[in-house]
Protein backbone atom coordinates (compact mmCIF):
# COMPACT_ATOMS: atom_id res chain seq x y z
CA UNK A 1 0.00 0.00 0.00
CA UNK A 2 1.84 3.13 -1.16
CA UNK A 3 1.36 5.76 1.52
CA UNK A 4 3.28 8.73 0.14
CA UNK A 5 3.91 9.97 -3.39
CA UNK A 6 7.43 10.47 -4.72
CA UNK A 7 7.90 14.21 -4.79
CA UNK A 8 10.46 16.73 -3.80
CA UNK A 9 9.81 18.91 -0.77
CA UNK A 10 7.58 21.96 -0.68
CA UNK A 11 10.47 24.11 0.51
CA UNK A 12 12.60 22.80 -2.34
CA UNK A 13 9.90 23.72 -4.85
CA UNK A 14 9.31 27.14 -3.33
CA UNK A 15 12.99 28.05 -3.25
CA UNK A 16 13.66 30.72 -5.86
CA UNK A 17 16.36 30.19 -8.46
CA UNK A 18 19.00 32.91 -8.24
CA UNK A 19 17.68 35.91 -10.18
CA UNK A 20 21.28 37.01 -10.59
CA UNK A 21 22.38 33.71 -12.06
CA UNK A 22 19.32 32.42 -13.86
CA UNK A 23 20.00 34.37 -17.06
CA UNK A 24 23.46 32.80 -17.37
CA UNK A 25 22.36 30.22 -19.98
CA UNK A 26 21.26 33.13 -22.20
CA UNK A 27 24.55 34.96 -21.74
CA UNK A 28 26.43 31.74 -22.48
CA UNK A 29 24.48 31.44 -25.73
CA UNK A 30 25.20 35.07 -26.61
CA UNK A 31 28.92 34.41 -26.04
CA UNK A 32 28.72 31.35 -28.31
CA UNK A 33 27.36 33.63 -31.03
CA UNK A 34 30.50 35.77 -30.60
CA UNK A 35 28.85 38.56 -28.58
CA UNK A 36 30.90 40.17 -25.81
CA UNK A 37 28.82 40.33 -22.62
CA UNK A 38 29.55 43.00 -20.01
CA UNK A 39 28.56 41.47 -16.68
CA UNK A 40 26.95 44.13 -14.51
CA UNK A 41 24.67 41.43 -13.08
CA UNK A 42 26.93 39.93 -10.43
CA UNK A 43 29.04 41.45 -7.66
CA UNK A 44 32.23 39.83 -8.88
CA UNK A 45 35.08 42.34 -8.61
CA UNK A 46 37.68 42.31 -11.40
CA UNK A 47 40.46 43.39 -9.01
CA UNK A 48 43.20 40.74 -8.69
CA UNK A 49 43.11 38.79 -5.44
CA UNK A 50 46.02 40.13 -3.33
CA UNK A 51 49.30 38.26 -3.74
CA UNK A 52 49.37 37.98 0.06
CA UNK A 53 46.38 35.64 -0.23
CA UNK A 54 47.66 33.72 -3.24
CA UNK A 55 51.17 33.30 -1.81
CA UNK A 56 49.80 31.92 1.45
CA UNK A 57 47.82 29.37 -0.58
CA UNK A 58 50.91 28.39 -2.59
CA UNK A 59 52.87 27.97 0.64
CA UNK A 60 50.25 25.94 2.51
CA UNK A 61 52.59 23.98 4.76
CA UNK A 62 50.70 20.82 5.80
CA UNK A 63 51.33 17.47 4.18
CA UNK A 64 47.91 16.21 5.25
CA UNK A 65 44.97 18.46 4.44
CA UNK A 66 43.25 17.69 7.72
CA UNK A 67 39.89 18.66 9.14
CA UNK A 68 40.26 22.05 10.75
CA UNK A 69 38.78 23.36 13.96
CA UNK A 70 34.98 23.66 13.55
CA UNK A 71 35.18 27.18 14.97
CA UNK A 72 37.76 28.13 12.34
CA UNK A 73 41.55 28.24 12.13
CA UNK A 74 42.65 29.94 15.35
CA UNK A 75 45.24 32.03 13.47
CA UNK A 76 42.50 33.28 11.16
CA UNK A 77 40.30 34.14 14.12
CA UNK A 78 43.20 36.06 15.68
CA UNK A 79 43.75 37.88 12.36
CA UNK A 80 40.07 38.82 12.27
CA UNK A 81 40.22 40.12 15.86
CA UNK A 82 43.10 42.38 14.88
CA UNK A 83 41.35 43.52 11.70
CA UNK A 84 38.24 44.42 13.71
CA UNK A 85 40.34 46.29 16.26
CA UNK A 86 41.75 48.41 13.41
CA UNK A 87 38.10 49.18 12.54
CA UNK A 88 37.41 50.04 16.17
CA UNK A 89 35.21 46.97 16.53
CA UNK A 90 36.45 45.51 19.80
CA UNK A 91 35.82 41.78 19.83
CA UNK A 92 37.61 38.76 21.23
CA UNK A 93 38.38 35.37 19.65
CA UNK A 94 35.42 33.80 21.50
CA UNK A 95 33.11 36.24 19.68
CA UNK A 96 34.05 34.90 16.23
CA UNK A 97 32.85 31.81 14.37
CA UNK A 98 34.50 31.34 10.96
CA UNK A 99 31.95 30.38 8.31
CA UNK A 100 32.05 29.02 4.78
CA UNK A 101 31.30 32.39 3.19
CA UNK A 102 29.02 35.16 4.37
CA UNK A 103 26.13 32.97 3.16
CA UNK A 104 26.83 30.44 5.89
CA UNK A 105 27.15 33.21 8.50
CA UNK A 106 23.63 34.27 7.54
CA UNK A 107 22.07 30.79 7.56
CA UNK A 108 23.79 29.97 10.87
CA UNK A 109 22.46 33.15 12.47
CA UNK A 110 18.94 32.61 11.13
CA UNK A 111 18.90 29.07 12.55
CA UNK A 112 20.38 30.32 15.84
CA UNK A 113 17.62 32.84 16.44
CA UNK A 114 14.51 31.47 14.76
CA UNK A 115 12.39 28.37 14.43
CA UNK A 116 10.26 27.26 11.51
CA UNK A 117 7.49 29.75 10.70
CA UNK A 118 9.01 32.57 12.73
CA UNK A 119 9.75 35.95 11.22
CA UNK A 120 12.66 38.24 10.50
CA UNK A 121 12.17 41.84 9.39
CA UNK A 122 14.14 42.92 6.28
CA UNK A 123 14.34 46.17 4.36
CA UNK A 124 13.32 45.94 0.74
CA UNK A 125 15.07 45.79 -1.69
CA UNK A 126 17.58 43.36 -0.16
CA UNK A 127 20.26 40.88 -1.19
CA UNK A 128 18.45 38.27 -3.20
CA UNK A 129 19.89 35.22 -1.43
CA UNK A 130 18.13 36.28 1.78
CA UNK A 131 15.04 34.87 0.08
CA UNK A 132 16.55 31.47 -0.67
CA UNK A 133 18.28 31.14 2.70
CA UNK A 134 14.96 31.95 4.41
CA UNK A 135 13.48 29.01 2.50
CA UNK A 136 16.34 26.74 3.61
CA UNK A 137 15.59 27.67 7.24
CA UNK A 138 11.84 27.71 6.59
CA UNK A 139 11.23 31.11 8.19
CA UNK A 140 9.39 34.13 6.84
CA UNK A 141 11.04 37.37 5.80
CA UNK A 142 8.76 40.30 6.55
CA UNK A 143 9.70 43.11 4.20
CA UNK A 144 9.65 46.81 5.10
CA UNK A 145 9.89 48.90 1.91
CA UNK A 146 12.57 51.55 1.40
CA UNK A 147 12.32 54.02 -1.48
CA UNK A 148 14.74 55.25 -4.15
CA UNK A 149 13.35 58.79 -3.61
CA UNK A 150 14.58 58.61 -0.02
CA UNK A 151 17.98 57.13 -0.91
CA UNK A 152 16.69 53.78 0.35
CA UNK A 153 17.12 54.95 3.94
CA UNK A 154 14.94 53.56 6.73
CA UNK A 155 11.31 54.61 6.90
CA UNK A 156 9.76 56.05 10.04
CA UNK A 157 10.18 53.87 13.12
CA UNK A 158 6.42 53.39 13.39
CA UNK A 159 6.30 51.78 9.95
CA UNK A 160 8.90 49.21 11.02
CA UNK A 161 7.15 48.73 14.36
CA UNK A 162 3.89 47.83 12.62
CA UNK A 163 5.55 44.77 11.07
CA UNK A 164 6.68 43.34 14.41
CA UNK A 165 4.53 40.45 15.63
CA UNK A 166 4.79 37.79 18.32
CA UNK A 167 6.66 35.68 15.74
CA UNK A 168 9.35 38.26 15.03
CA UNK A 169 12.80 37.12 16.17
CA UNK A 170 15.09 39.65 14.55
CA UNK A 171 15.79 42.50 12.19
CA UNK A 172 18.19 41.87 9.30
CA UNK A 173 19.90 44.74 7.54
CA UNK A 174 22.95 45.28 5.35
CA UNK A 175 25.16 48.35 5.64
CA UNK A 176 26.41 49.35 3.13
CA UNK A 177 23.41 47.81 1.49
CA UNK A 178 23.28 45.41 -1.40
CA UNK A 179 21.57 46.24 -3.83
CA UNK A 180 21.07 49.93 -2.96
CA UNK A 181 24.52 51.01 -1.79
CA UNK A 182 22.93 52.89 1.12
CA UNK A 183 25.09 53.38 4.21
CA UNK A 184 22.84 53.54 7.27
CA UNK A 185 23.59 56.40 9.65
CA UNK A 186 24.37 55.99 13.33
CA UNK A 187 20.90 57.36 14.06
CA UNK A 188 19.33 54.68 11.89
CA UNK A 189 21.39 51.95 13.57
CA UNK A 190 20.27 53.32 16.93
CA UNK A 191 16.65 53.25 15.85
CA UNK A 192 17.03 49.57 15.01
CA UNK A 193 18.69 49.00 18.39
CA UNK A 194 15.80 50.72 20.19
CA UNK A 195 13.31 48.47 18.44
CA UNK A 196 15.41 45.42 19.27
CA UNK A 197 15.39 46.33 22.95
CA UNK A 198 11.74 47.24 23.04
CA UNK A 199 10.60 44.01 21.38
CA UNK A 200 13.40 41.68 22.53
CA UNK A 201 14.80 41.03 19.09
CA UNK A 202 18.17 40.12 17.64
CA UNK A 203 19.78 42.39 15.05
CA UNK A 204 21.62 40.72 12.16
CA UNK A 205 23.91 43.19 10.45
CA UNK A 206 25.46 42.21 7.13
CA UNK A 207 28.57 44.38 6.82
CA UNK A 208 30.48 42.63 4.04
CA UNK A 209 30.84 45.93 2.13
CA UNK A 210 32.35 47.80 5.12
CA UNK A 211 35.45 48.82 3.14
CA UNK A 212 33.45 50.28 0.25
CA UNK A 213 32.36 53.68 1.56
CA UNK A 214 32.45 56.81 -0.62
CA UNK A 215 30.58 59.31 1.56
CA UNK A 216 29.66 59.23 5.20
CA UNK A 217 30.93 56.94 7.92
CA UNK A 218 30.29 53.27 8.46
CA UNK A 219 28.59 52.36 11.73
CA UNK A 220 28.91 48.76 12.80
CA UNK A 221 26.14 47.12 14.78
CA UNK A 222 28.89 46.02 17.18
CA UNK A 223 29.40 49.66 18.16
CA UNK A 224 25.82 50.45 19.14
CA UNK A 225 25.54 50.55 22.90
CA UNK A 226 22.97 48.61 24.88
CA UNK A 227 22.42 45.75 22.44
CA UNK A 228 25.66 43.82 22.99
CA UNK A 229 23.70 40.61 23.57
CA UNK A 230 21.41 41.17 20.57
CA UNK A 231 23.90 42.14 17.88
CA UNK A 232 25.10 39.57 15.33
CA UNK A 233 27.57 40.78 12.73
CA UNK A 234 27.75 38.87 9.41
CA UNK A 235 30.94 39.26 7.45
CA UNK A 236 32.94 37.89 4.53
CA UNK A 237 36.36 38.40 2.96
CA UNK A 238 34.88 37.84 -0.53
CA UNK A 239 34.47 41.44 -1.54
CA UNK A 240 37.14 43.27 0.41
CA UNK A 241 39.93 40.96 -0.76
CA UNK A 242 38.37 40.14 -4.12
CA UNK A 243 38.29 36.51 -3.05
CA UNK A 244 34.67 35.51 -3.71
CA UNK A 245 35.62 31.95 -4.63
CA UNK A 246 37.36 31.41 -1.27
CA UNK A 247 34.14 30.98 0.73
CA UNK A 248 35.48 32.48 3.95
CA UNK A 249 33.28 34.57 6.20
CA UNK A 250 32.42 34.88 9.84
CA UNK A 251 29.65 35.37 12.35
CA UNK A 252 30.47 37.72 15.24
CA UNK A 253 28.51 38.07 18.46
CA UNK A 254 29.00 38.77 22.14
CA UNK A 255 26.02 36.57 23.01
CA UNK A 256 27.50 33.34 24.37
CA UNK A 257 24.42 31.26 23.63
CA UNK A 258 24.51 32.38 20.01
CA UNK A 259 28.21 31.52 19.78
CA UNK A 260 27.70 28.09 21.37
CA UNK A 261 24.92 27.35 18.90
CA UNK A 262 26.96 28.64 15.96
CA UNK A 263 29.76 26.27 17.00
CA UNK A 264 27.35 23.32 17.05
CA UNK A 265 26.26 24.31 13.56
CA UNK A 266 29.93 24.54 12.64
CA UNK A 267 30.51 21.03 13.95
CA UNK A 268 27.61 19.74 11.88
CA UNK A 269 29.58 20.60 8.70
CA UNK A 270 32.98 19.84 10.27
CA UNK A 271 35.05 22.84 9.12
CA UNK A 272 35.47 25.63 6.60
CA UNK A 273 37.90 25.09 3.71
CA UNK A 274 41.39 24.85 5.21
CA UNK A 275 43.55 26.11 2.36
CA UNK A 276 41.41 29.16 1.73
CA UNK A 277 41.38 29.93 5.44
CA UNK A 278 45.16 29.88 5.22
CA UNK A 279 44.98 32.29 2.27
CA UNK A 280 42.78 34.61 4.30
CA UNK A 281 45.34 34.65 7.11
CA UNK A 282 47.78 35.99 4.51
CA UNK A 283 45.35 38.62 3.21
CA UNK A 284 44.62 39.91 6.72
CA UNK A 285 48.21 41.13 6.93
CA UNK A 286 47.50 43.75 4.26
CA UNK A 287 47.90 47.36 5.46
CA UNK A 288 44.95 49.75 5.62
CA UNK A 289 45.99 51.64 2.47
CA UNK A 290 45.05 48.56 0.46
CA UNK A 291 41.41 49.33 1.23
CA UNK A 292 41.81 53.05 0.61
CA UNK A 293 43.18 52.52 -2.91
CA UNK A 294 40.41 50.04 -3.62
CA UNK A 295 37.67 52.36 -2.37
CA UNK A 296 39.07 55.16 -4.55
CA UNK A 297 38.93 52.94 -7.60
CA UNK A 298 35.33 51.97 -6.84
CA UNK A 299 34.39 55.57 -6.22
CA UNK A 300 35.56 56.41 -9.76
CA UNK A 301 33.46 53.53 -11.03
CA UNK A 302 30.42 54.66 -9.11
CA UNK A 303 30.78 58.17 -10.44
CA UNK A 304 31.12 56.86 -14.00
CA UNK A 305 28.16 54.54 -13.63
CA UNK A 306 25.96 57.21 -12.08
CA UNK A 307 26.93 59.84 -14.66
CA UNK A 308 26.10 57.47 -17.51
CA UNK A 309 22.77 56.51 -15.90
CA UNK A 310 21.82 60.17 -15.60
CA UNK A 311 22.09 60.46 -19.39
CA UNK A 312 19.30 57.91 -19.90
CA UNK A 313 15.95 59.68 -20.15
CA UNK A 314 13.42 58.50 -17.57
CA UNK A 315 15.92 56.95 -15.17
CA UNK A 316 15.35 57.37 -11.42
CA UNK A 317 18.14 56.60 -8.96
CA UNK A 318 20.17 58.12 -6.17
CA UNK A 319 23.93 58.15 -6.01
CA UNK A 320 24.82 55.39 -3.52
CA UNK A 321 27.33 56.03 -0.71
CA UNK A 322 28.76 52.55 -0.47
CA UNK A 323 29.10 48.96 -1.74
CA UNK A 324 29.35 48.60 -5.53
CA UNK A 325 25.77 48.49 -6.68
CA UNK A 326 23.15 50.93 -7.96
CA UNK A 327 19.49 50.01 -7.83
CA UNK A 328 17.97 51.92 -10.69
CA UNK A 329 14.44 52.48 -11.97
CA UNK A 330 14.55 52.22 -15.76
CA UNK A 331 11.85 53.38 -18.21
CA UNK A 332 11.02 49.71 -18.84
CA UNK A 333 7.79 47.94 -17.89
CA UNK A 334 9.07 44.38 -17.62
CA UNK A 335 12.71 44.30 -16.62
CA UNK A 336 12.96 40.49 -16.82
CA UNK A 337 11.88 40.52 -20.45
CA UNK A 338 14.25 43.42 -21.14
CA UNK A 339 17.23 41.74 -19.47
CA UNK A 340 16.61 38.60 -21.54
CA UNK A 341 16.16 40.61 -24.75
CA UNK A 342 19.50 42.33 -24.15
CA UNK A 343 21.11 38.88 -24.27
CA UNK A 344 19.05 37.26 -27.03
CA UNK A 345 18.23 40.06 -29.47
CA UNK A 346 20.42 43.09 -28.88
CA UNK A 347 24.05 44.02 -29.37
CA UNK A 348 26.00 47.16 -30.19
CA UNK A 349 29.24 46.69 -32.11
CA UNK A 350 29.23 43.01 -31.10
CA UNK A 351 28.69 43.60 -27.38
CA UNK A 352 25.83 43.66 -24.88
CA UNK A 353 25.26 44.30 -21.18
CA UNK A 354 23.77 41.99 -18.57
CA UNK A 355 21.95 43.39 -15.52
CA UNK A 356 20.20 41.75 -12.56
CA UNK A 357 16.39 42.17 -12.75
CA UNK A 358 14.86 43.99 -9.78
CA UNK A 359 12.10 41.59 -8.64
CA UNK A 360 14.62 39.11 -7.19
CA UNK A 361 15.61 41.74 -4.62
CA UNK A 362 12.11 41.97 -3.16
CA UNK A 363 9.95 39.64 -1.09
CA UNK A 364 6.77 41.51 -1.99
CA UNK A 365 5.33 40.14 -5.25
CA UNK A 366 5.07 42.71 -8.02
CA UNK A 367 7.83 44.98 -6.69
CA UNK A 368 10.93 45.93 -8.67
CA UNK A 369 9.48 45.18 -12.10
CA UNK A 370 10.99 48.33 -13.59
CA UNK A 371 14.20 48.16 -11.58
CA UNK A 372 17.61 46.62 -12.16
CA UNK A 373 20.65 46.20 -10.01
CA UNK A 374 23.86 47.33 -11.65
CA UNK A 375 27.13 46.09 -10.18
CA UNK A 376 29.89 48.54 -11.09
CA UNK A 377 32.63 45.95 -10.92
CA UNK A 378 34.37 46.73 -14.22
CA UNK A 379 37.15 49.22 -14.89
CA UNK A 380 36.04 52.71 -15.82
CA UNK A 381 36.58 52.28 -19.54
CA UNK A 382 34.64 49.02 -19.81
CA UNK A 383 31.99 50.36 -17.49
CA UNK A 384 31.43 53.36 -19.78
CA UNK A 385 31.05 51.04 -22.76
CA UNK A 386 28.70 48.74 -20.85
CA UNK A 387 26.52 51.64 -19.65
CA UNK A 388 26.29 53.14 -23.13
CA UNK A 389 25.22 49.77 -24.53
CA UNK A 390 22.58 49.64 -21.78
CA UNK A 391 21.38 53.16 -22.67
CA UNK A 392 21.14 52.24 -26.35
CA UNK A 393 19.37 49.00 -25.43
CA UNK A 394 16.73 50.86 -23.42
CA UNK A 395 16.14 53.20 -26.35
CA UNK A 396 15.85 50.41 -28.93
CA UNK A 397 13.69 48.22 -26.70
CA UNK A 398 11.20 51.00 -26.13
CA UNK A 399 11.06 51.67 -29.87
CA UNK A 400 10.25 48.03 -30.59
CA UNK A 401 8.20 47.01 -27.56
CA UNK A 402 7.02 50.35 -26.20
Taking CB under 8 A as the criterion, which residues in 222-241 touch its own copies?
Answer: 229-230
Q: Is 13 in the site for its own copies (CB under 8 A)?
A: yes
User: Please, are residues 387 and 345 in contact by the beta-carbon 8 Å criterion?
Assistant: no
Residue 288 makes contact with its own copies by CB under 8 A: no
Sites for its own copies among residues 184-213 (CB under 8 A): 198-202
User: Distance between CA 30 and CA 350 in Å, rounded?
Assistant: 10
| CB contact burial 186-195 (16+ within 10 A = b; e otherwise) | eebbbbbbeb
* 216-241 residues labelled b (16+ CB within 10 A) or e (exposed): eebbbbbebeebeebbbbbbbbbbbb
How many binding residues for its own copies (CB under 8 A)?
Answer: 90
Among 113, 189, 224, 374, indicate the residue that binds its own copies (CB under 8 A): 113
**Closest Cα partner for 69 from 48, 99, 90, 46?**
99
Phi and psi based region of residue 17 (left: phi greater than 0; alpha: psi -120 to 50; beta: remaining): beta
Q: How far is the CB of 192 from its own copies (least distance, A)?
A: 15
Strands 168-174 and 202-206: parallel
Query: Which of 75, 165, 186, 333 touches its own copies by CB under 8 A?
Result: 165
Interactions with its own copies, residue window 256-285 (CB under 8 A): 257-258, 261, 263-265, 267-276, 279
What part of residues 296-335 is at the interface with its own copies (CB under 8 A)? none
Task: Confirm or reject binding of residue 8 to its own copies (CB under 8 A).
Answer: yes
Q: Which stretch binds its own copies (CB under 8 A): 173-181, 255-263, 290-298, 389-397?
A: 255-263
Is there binding between residue 16 and its own copies (CB under 8 A)?
A: yes
Among 52, 78, 87, 132, which residue sits at the site for its own copies (rule: CB under 8 A)? Answer: 132
Closest CA to 150 of 126, 184, 190, 120: 184
> Of 220, 242, 318, 321, which lies in the binding site for its own copies, with binding defined by CB under 8 A?
242
Q: Which residues of 77-87 are buried (b: 16+ CB within 10 A; e: fewer)?
A: bebbbebbeeb
Q: Which stretch binds its own copies (CB under 8 A): 132-140, 185-193, 319-327, 329-337?
A: 132-140
Query: How many helices (H) and strands (E) are present in the chain, helices listed first?
Result: 13, 12
Nearer to its own copies, 129 or 347 (CB): 129
State which residue, 46 or 187, has the beta carbon closest to its own copies: 46
CA distance 330 to 369: 9
SS3 of residue 122 by DSSP: strand
Please report whether residue 400 would count as binding its own copies according to CB under 8 A: no
Among 26, 35, 52, 60, binds its own copies (CB under 8 A): 60
Least CB distance to its own copies at residue 221 (A): 15
Name the one range near its own copies by CB under 8 A: 109-117, 218-226, 300-308, 316-324: 109-117
Amino acid sequence: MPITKLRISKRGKEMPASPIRKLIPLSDEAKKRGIKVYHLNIGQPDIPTPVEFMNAVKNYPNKVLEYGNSKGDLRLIQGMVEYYHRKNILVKPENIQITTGGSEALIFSIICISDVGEEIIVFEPFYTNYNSLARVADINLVPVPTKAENGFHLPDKKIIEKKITSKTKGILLATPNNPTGTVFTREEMETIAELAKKYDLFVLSDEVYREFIYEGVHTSIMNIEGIEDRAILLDSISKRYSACGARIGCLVSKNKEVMDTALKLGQSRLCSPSIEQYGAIGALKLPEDYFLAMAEEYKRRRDTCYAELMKIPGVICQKPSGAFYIMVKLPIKDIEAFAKWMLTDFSLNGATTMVAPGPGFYATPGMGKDEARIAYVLNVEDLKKAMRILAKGVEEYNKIKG
